[in-house]
Structure 1
């Protein structure tokens, strides 16, 4: 049973919530150049094919939600393209401190929705990691037994200035129930983190905030996608397929004719595609992170249940003897490399370590084991803060009519917070060919570009 719509742009998927979309093209089905709305009971002979460019926070969130939201019975294929592989870009290099607040605004845009969806995806990744699918070796990842994905020990932020204290007090008064902010005095803060420096005798504790190991999380989320695909194949209900291609896509028209939709989740890399070059209001910013380890001769380990620390330099706890400290901000950089040359590393450490020791003096006993870097895609500032860029970009690509092109970039320094909910929205929009499902705050950048 199918409903044929001669003008697909007049159709709203809200009218038929139990239907999926099959985009038929002249190349695949002769004399078929319309959008066919078919009920879930009808299985297509041809699989729907989607390309996702990028295997970081945005790309893997989109891939997961495409799989979840596609018709139960439909044949469905996703090809993920990333030159380095899972977490090879800035996502894998992030600090991993997850909470819905900012010192500049009372609550991050759509804080409750984003917080909820991020925790949900983290749980999905952890479940996949602990399932039997890990033991049978599907797929091969860098995860090892005992590696953590989420450390649930909270985050503490000492007040370093009156301005910072006022902003955090505003946050505390407007916090969401599932991620509280508690104002605590010096003694209570130092019970949480021994030797914590609290210059104004006040700190802010977020007990439900979490610290994520980004690389482990991304590999586990990819594992969840593969496990889901395998379960659908085993049940025989449909043929789902997910492939990871370690290759670059140098221009979008390379993929023309091969896919029903292409979703660009390349971070800064999106701005370097020829079809989008000069059209995206993105700022690039390279950040260096330092990896510190406590020498064996030092017995005062970082307490296992103590929170990570937010300050001018954040301290992300990876274990009793392992910390990450970050991050520097080098604006307008075009350097994608994770490798940090000696001169850049020395300069970064001169900046980061004094800031870290100002709130955690014991860090002077720790040894620097290395540095790494990532290039962030920073979106423009607006009334809601710094929001990612989403939307259909067909008007920029001008490719074949049979393929839809979508963009999801500009996660900036809040990628872990925004990626889950926005990946869900992007998947819904791409599957339904309906950009209106994306909040206008995230697509308004296109109107400014055209002006």
Structure 2
């Protein structure tokens, strides 16, 4: 694969050998639109997968900044399973690659003072980490749910096993937990991520990698963040070897792509709840997050997020939540959460935030993200200049690392065939 990338670049005259010129060639320039899970994964892997002697510049464009969209407010619950299948599509590859990238980001975060310390909802019980290995517990709420989750438990990955618990065993982990069918499925190796801090740390890791590669190799690597919106792809015409569009739901708002990609938009509200100081009973220090009709992403003994609502066809990408929208979200989510965790009635609502998710179409393999070259849609005839990585939906955290790696490899080689056909078949020319 590395040989294919290099030969593709040589054939386009983009690489020179030391013997062919004593002058350093100009850098290859790539634009990544979006600084969420997808965009930062692509940026990392462009740096990691490119040849060491290649001069490379990556410009990331995001008007809000790192993790300002749906990625930054996601629930952060990570595991490779689906209630509708034994394992999500390519679940093992996605899980393993995601663990690698999380480790990279956490290593960058541990010794850094550069991360945004102004995250108001950051809980001190995370002790500066972005990954909390507390596990996820999923109650069975219907017979169909019970059968599918039981099948998952029989076919689980060794690196993310599933244990079946009755109500008594579940209450040993989380006191007063209620199980409608007396069964819960516990994934002790599943992860609870602080998404905003994760994407900030991943960006820092990208900066560190660019610096490391520039000092240790013969090629210069550059990474730049531009807090500006790209209103039209034509505005970037002539500046870049490739433009990778990782804008989530906003991809459909680009005039060149509007109405031409099969994305559905869905606005979701996430509520933040805390225990007040005069409440003595805390959530167990090592208690798992809860995945049900309303999920509870535990941030610490006295802080959690609850989500999420599903407002289909919304075009509202603002993270701000009005009083009425917050009230509607609580009215929808709290009864579902109380049914599983009644002690939540002691918790106090402290605020809400929202994100606009980009949901992909349903395929025989499930709802899979959209990847591939979109030159023909955009109207570019030069070949493999514009690329799309969108539709991560509710599984963005699981999918982003492996698919970002595939996208980077395809972009560097200018070869869409490196991407599995399941992810490119949405484009009519590939059918």
3-state SS of paired residue (1:36): coil
Q: How many residues align?
A: 423
Q: CA offsets, 1:141-168, max 9 Å, x none?
A: 7579933301101001111211111110
Determine if the alignment matches structure 1 residue 250 to structure 2 residue 231. Answer: yes
| CA distance in 1: counterparts of 2:258 and 2:382, whole angstroms | 21
Determine if the alignment matches structure 1 residue 399 to structure 2 residue 399. Answer: no
TM-score for the superposition, normalised by structure 2? 0.94
Task: Please point out which of 54, 71, 87 is paired with 2:51.
Answer: 71
The answer for the alignment partner of 2:12 in structure 1 is: 35
Determine if the alignment matches structure 1 residue 120 to structure 2 residue 97. Answer: no
Q: 1:18 to 1:268 in 2, by over 3 A?
A: closer
Task: Please point out which of 176, 186, 207 is paired with 1:205.
Answer: 186
- Let me know the Cα RMSD of the aligned residues: 2.0
Compute the displacement of 1:202 (Å): 1.2
Determine if the alignment matches structure 1 residue 80 to structure 2 residue 67. Answer: no
Q: CA offsets, 1:372-430, max 9 Å, x none?
A: 10000000001111000000000011236277000000000000010000000000000
Q: Is the 8 A contact 2:9 2:413 kept in 1?
A: no
Task: Please point out which of 67, 71, 80 is paired with 1:100.
Answer: 80
Compute the displacement of 1:197 (Å): 0.6
TM-score for the superposition, normalised by structure 1? 0.90
Determine if the alignment matches structure 1 residue 89 to structure 2 residue 69. Answer: yes
Q: Is the 8 A contact 1:20 1:71 kept in 2?
A: no
| CA distance in 2: counterparts of 1:142 and 1:75, whole angstroms | 35
Q: Is the 8 A contact 2:248 2:357 kept in 1?
A: yes
> What is the 5 A alignment of 1:153-302?
153-235=134-216, 237-302=218-283
Q: Is the 8 A contact 2:163 2:185 kept in 1?
A: yes
Compute the displacement of 1:200 (Å): 1.6
Q: 1:287 to 1:41 in 2, by over 3 A?
A: farther
Q: Is the 8 A contact 1:87 1:215 kept in 2?
A: yes
Q: Is the 8 A contact 1:256 1:400 kept in 2?
A: no
3-state SS of paired residue (1:122): helix
Determine if the alignment matches structure 1 residue 331 to structure 2 residue 331. Answer: no
Compute the displacement of 1:303 (Å): 1.0
Q: CA offsets, 1:157-202, max 9 Å, x none?
A: 1112111111100111111111111111111111111111112221
| CA distance in 2: counterparts of 1:36 and 1:235, whole angstroms | 25
The answer for the alignment partner of 2:32 in structure 1 is: 52
The answer for the alignment partner of 1:307 in structure 2 is: 288
In the alignment, structure 2 segments of 5+ residues that lack a partner are none
| CA distance in 2: counterparts of 1:117 and 1:378, whole angstroms | 22
In the alignment, structure 1 segments of 5+ residues that lack a partner are 1-12, 24-33
Q: Is the 8 A contact 2:6 2:413 kept in 1?
A: no
